[in-house]
Structure 1
Amino acid sequence: MASPVWSTIDFEQRGLQSDYARIPYSSDTSAYGWIPVPMICFNGGDGPTALLTAGTHGDEYEGQIALRRIARALTQTEVKGRVIILPELNRPAVVAGRRNSPLDAGNLNRLFPGSASGGPTAMIAQYVTEVLFPLTDYVLDLHSGGSSLDYLQVAYAHRGQTPEQEQRIHDLLECFAAPHNILTDGRGGGGATTLYASAAAHGLAALTTELGGGQGLSQAGVRLAEEGIRRVLRRFGIVPDLPAPAPAPTRRLRILPPETAIYASSDGLFEPLVEVGASVHAGQPAGYLHQLGQPLAEPIELQFKTAGIVVYQRHPTLTALGDALYGLAADSEP
């Protein structure tokens, strides 16, 4: 079924255009209304296309701010290729400051390739898949830990389906130059239903990021996103004169299986002992879980099950049974 989402932007027209992707939504107060998802298109006509997205989760702010900075910078320089920017991709979640949409509880990064007959979140995913991916060569979907996780600064990518695509993905990761890179099969993190996994399945060079986390804003994360995008747009001839800093060295990691992560074994108050980025060993104390309603009980001691590098840590102290508290990575095997 064709996407019901529409916009006044003509992606083949040269120059700058700014409008919305209009998501049809019939509500109690607007029978024939639509949800405005801001979209900007810069088209110079003589180079590849980059699709830049943020706000896939509404409580992740570093990418949203970085894309605004990039958009303003592109108004001051010549664009040779084409850049499509959606800084508030899951607009209802962004407005609510929530990970998932308040309209349909949709987690946009678990709904790709989407559906024209689903709720608003599934429609957004289908529009990206069916309308934007065919226009695109490079995809960068900017994420951070949001309100629930503190996250190591890392870029993730799925492996390519062909040697040529694999090389393009490798080049994209190296050019973006996050402090850490991870090639993943998506196990435990959305699998094939994420935006960047869907992009890779369509033959594109795609990556996603984790730019920090917590309920505030990481300026280091904003800076990494902006500088990485500048390098990509310059390196691949999309905006060849865009100023961009030289890349710093990157450490290649591999994510460890979900079984090595630490999850809350009961409701309680989480007291972490180890920070993100730390190297840990099997049996090392990770933190304590103080059970609610039992103030005299000894806290549950949490221990790491294997050696690794802490890639994320739960940010809120209040914790429920099943919450992810720590996740681990390790250096990539040669």
Structure 2
Amino acid sequence: MTNFSVVKSGASERKPLTPRRNSIFTSVDLDRSGKQIGYFCVPQSPHDDAWGVVQVPIAVVKNGTGPTVLIEAGNHGDEYEGPIALGELLREIDPADVAGRIIAIPAINVRAVEAGQRTSPIDGLNFNRSFPGDFNGTLTSQIAAYVNDCLFPIADYFLDLHSGGSSLMILPSAIIEPSPTTEGHRRNIRATLAFGAPTVVMIDNLGDTRTSTAAANQQGLIVIGSEMAGGGLVSQEALTICRRGIRNILKHAGVLKGAPDVPAGANARVLKVPGTEGYVLSEDDGVFEPISELGTAVKKGEIAGRIHFLRSPAREPVILHHPIDGIVFAKRQPGRVRPGNCCFVLANEYPEALSNEL
């Protein structure tokens, strides 16, 4: 079981991180005022391009003094609301309206974005399980190392925009990343509530420290995540939430003027995924028939779904049961499943996030 424990201590001071030696270069000046849209370039030498680079789109919008908000989308290449909303913001925003700096990377896992798949087709790696990265590794590891060593240290806030991708449908949600300190956890919660999604969920990715949000947390940034629908589709509802949420975080940080636009019904449901017992996993190779609907309350022992064996019509389907009481936060999208595939994710109420008990 993964426990959501928060260390009871004050906020730790950010310690300077010495970037590892690397050969990545940019076409933008991160310190220059105005709006720049260009690339950071990762030297690569594939079969058809001996001295080429992979160009990862990056934008900088800077004016005056103020905090730096780093916004990342396209972490997985089959998640679309974040890249769309972030691209819209970059086309629309006037640097005169900014007090501080926005660094935006709308297609961070660029080869996966081009392929429309979760992992990179270059090296097969999941960008969001690649931190702190390796400048001497493959493309995905090098991009993660650049974000970890060169961008996190100059940022105050980190907003990581996700959806369920091709394999999951997820309630459109703002995501609390558990911080290793009490004060960091409070700051993350306050910022996540400012995003203004209808559902807020705390997730620690089964304790994995290789995610971008976990790495940002370790460096002392204020961290906000999001999960916007999924299924490899573009949801208009989720896109509306995402557009507003990006601007809300910029307002919460003070980079844009005004108070966050938190609509009625925002933060109506505050949940947490309780650890491994919140996951319903397949143990079989077959076709998954979901019974429970997204967002519904379920009870421990209720039928979650069935796995059918189409080539063995005499074989009875395997029944999956919900392991705990909870809310269906995520549901598998493709019917085809193999052993180990995630079929459902359940979450419980997390009222402490709205109190002063943390």
Q: TM-score band, normalised by the shorter chain?
A: over 0.9
1:257 to 2:275 alignment: yes
**Which residue of the partner structure matches residue 147 of structure 2?**
128
Contact between 2:202 and 2:272, CA under 8 Å: does it hold in 1?
Answer: yes
Contact between 2:78 and 2:166, CA under 8 Å: does it hold in 1?
Answer: yes
**Which residue of the partner structure matches residue 30 of structure 2?**
11
Please state how far the C-alpha of 1:287 moved relative to its aligned partner: 1.3
**Which residue of the partner structure matches residue 50 of structure 2?**
31
Q: Secondary structure, in 3 states, of the residue corresponding to 2:145?
A: helix
Contact between 1:230 and 1:242, CA under 8 Å: does it hold in 2?
Answer: no
1:156-167 equivalence runs, <5 A: 156-167=175-186
Contact between 1:4 and 1:123, CA under 8 Å: does it hold in 2?
Answer: no
Once the two structures are overlaid, the 10-residue window that deviates more, 261-270 or 135-144, is 261-270
**Which residue of the partner structure matches residue 8 of structure 2?**
none
Please state how far the C-alpha of 1:10 moved relative to its aligned partner: 1.3
Q: Which letter does structure 1 place at the counterpart of 2:235?
A: S
CA distance in 2, matches of 1:222, 1:152: 13
CA distance in 2, matches of 1:305, 1:185: 19
CA distance in 2, matches of 1:326, 1:60: 19
CA distance in 2, matches of 1:85, 1:259: 36
Encode CA deviations 1:251-305: one digit per residue, 9 max, x unaligned.
2211022234221221111111111111000121111110142023222222112
Contact between 1:3 and 1:126, CA under 8 Å: does it hold in 2?
Answer: no
Q: Secondary structure, in 3 states, of the residue corresponding to 2:277?
A: helix
Please state how far the C-alpha of 1:243 moved relative to its aligned partner: 8.7
What TM-score results when the alignment is normalised by the length of structure 1?
A: 0.94
> Which of 307, 312, 322 does residue 304 from structure 1 map onto?
322
The Cα RMSD (Å) is 1.8
Please state how far the C-alpha of 1:333 moved relative to its aligned partner: 5.0
Contact between 2:165 and 2:232, CA under 8 Å: does it hold in 1?
Answer: yes
Once the two structures are overlaid, the 10-residue window that deviates more, 55-64 or 255-264, is 255-264
CA distance in 2, matches of 1:185, 1:219: 27
> Which of 265, 276, 280 does residue 298 from structure 2 map onto?
280
Please state how far the C-alpha of 1:332 moved relative to its aligned partner: 1.3
Give the percent of matched residue pairs that are identical in Structure 1 and Structure 2.
Answer: 37
Change (3 A) 1:296 1:161: closer
Q: Which letter does structure 1 place at the counterpart of 2:307?
A: L
Q: Which letter does structure 2 place at the counterpart of 1:301?
A: I
1:84-163 equivalence runs, <5 A: 84-163=103-182
Please state how far the C-alpha of 1:183 moved relative to its aligned partner: 3.0
What TM-score results when the alignment is normalised by the length of structure 2?
A: 0.88
Contact between 2:44 and 2:52, CA under 8 Å: does it hold in 1?
Answer: yes
CA distance in 1, matches of 2:227, 2:137: 28
Please state how far the C-alpha of 1:160 moved relative to its aligned partner: 3.0
**Which residue of the partner structure matches residue 338 of structure 2?**
320
**Which residue of the partner structure matches residue 201 of structure 1?**
218
> Which of 229, 232, 244 does residue 246 from structure 2 map onto?
229
